Amino acid sequence: MTAAQRYLVPFQRRGSIVGQADLAALASVVHSAEPLSAGVWRERFEQRFREVTGARHALSVTSGTVALELAVRLLDLQPGDEVIATPQTFQATVQPLLDHDVTVRFCDVDPDTLNMDPQVLDSLITDRTKAILLVHYGGLPADMAAILARARRAGVVVVEDCAHGWGASYQGDSPGALGDIGCFSFHSTKNITTLGEGGMITLNRADWAERVERLRGNEVDGVFAPVPGFADDEPALLPWMRFSADVYRRQAVGIRGAGTNATMSEAAAAVGLVQLDALERFTERRRWIAARLDAAVSAFPRHPPPTHAGGSTHAYHLYTFFVTAGREGARDSCAPLDRRGVEVQLRYFPLHLLPEVAAARPRSGRVPQAERVWFDEHLNLPCHPGLTDEQVDHLVESVTAAMHEATALARTGRPLAVR
């Protein structure tokens, strides 16, 4: 029995809904005589993405992980460089750094938002810092004004992991156009999908966009110069030989590394375009579910609710709340939800404690807020547009019942509150 079959209200296996419009787009791709790779659908998807985000350049790739890998390639990291990262994210955010001889400094999180705490950055930025890697946790934008102010003073690149943030806004702007590089995921669980896998990298620098274009297209990432004295019409090239032209016309000045094939298929891009047009509808459904859950938990003893930085809007990729009665209180709240068929998950295990990260970066430091919140307080509840109204009703009723049960247990000596 799968988790989706076991639970009446499962956590998201699909973060969006694939419907008739998606199927029609697929049929159009299949029945046309156009190429199934690097064609018009990819161009349309990327153009629409630029329009929605406001980024000058948007280049699709095969996954959000690949987008992050390419972003790290653009940093041109050297031995001894330092990168500041959030510990509260999926491992793909920092995994590309394991291929580089750099120091990773983990920045602790704001305990209310689980986003990178700008106040902690001040003690982490040094003259060796090259980049800051942040995530918009759960769909709530990070405090970008405060983070960018510190980054700009130090000349540091800001990379946004927007895997959760699609559909959110920060001071009226979209994630992916707030920092220097944006990385999106279209995995099956994300707020829109391109048939299960896919990603996008957004940039405003033309030279970086050119490098990504080459890297994703299986070309060498390097610096080239024209061959002196070469005439454009020598040798004569037939139309089908056009891909060989650069062999004659340029010479390598410096090679940074090899590219890879990260080409999004036309079928994936076609579905992505349809999903992008449905994003607002999907996001509104998430916000409606989140509002129902907010109403349920607000009936119980509460700490002051978290504030949204900079007039931001939440995309609710994840619905997170905290039980402030230690690990036992979180367990007391979680167990009755599980009995009632509500799947609870914890996203994500603090990255600096992963064995591969700890082994490679033993001096990355502690992040006490992230550790405390994850181990003692943190719960994620299902919140995705695939839930029916009946499932949402059952979810809300189960949360209310579970909180009553946990509150009764708390009277035995563990004061319970939620935030």
User: Which residues face 82 on adjacent strands?
Assistant: 103, 129
Backbone phi, then psi, for 149, in 5-degree steps? -60, -45
Bridging pattern class, strands 221-226 and 250-257? antiparallel
Handedness of CA 397, 403, 407, 409 (dihedral sign): positive
SS3 for 311-372, per residue? HCECCCCCEEEEECCHHHHHHHHHHHHHHCCECCECCCCCHHHCHHHHHHCCCCCCCHHHHH
C-alpha to C-alpha distance for 416 and 299, rounded to whole angstroms: 13
Burial class (CB in 10 A: 0-12, 13-18, 19+), 304: exposed
User: Which residues are known to be catalytic?
Assistant: 190
Residue 323 tokens, joined: 């039980």
C-alpha to C-alpha distance for 372 and 375, rounded to whole angstroms: 5
Residue 219 tokens, joined: 């070309």
Task: Return the H-helix or E-strand segment holding 53.
Answer: helix 40-53
Count Cβ neighbours within 10 Å for each residue of 193-211 and write b for 16 or more, e otherwise.
bbbebbbbbbbeeeebbeb
Burial class (CB in 10 A: 0-12, 13-18, 19+), 180: buried
- In sequence order, what DSSP letters do the residues of 253-283 get, joined into one string? EEEEE---B-PPBHHHHHHHHHHHHHHHHHH
Query: Closest by alpha carbon to 273, among 33, 62, 49, 28?
Result: 49
Backbone phi, then psi, for 59, in 5-degree steps? -125, 120
SS3 for 64-77, per residue? HHHHHHHHHHHCCC
Residue 50 tokens, joined: 């630029």
Q: Contact, 70 vs 334, CB < 8 A?
A: no
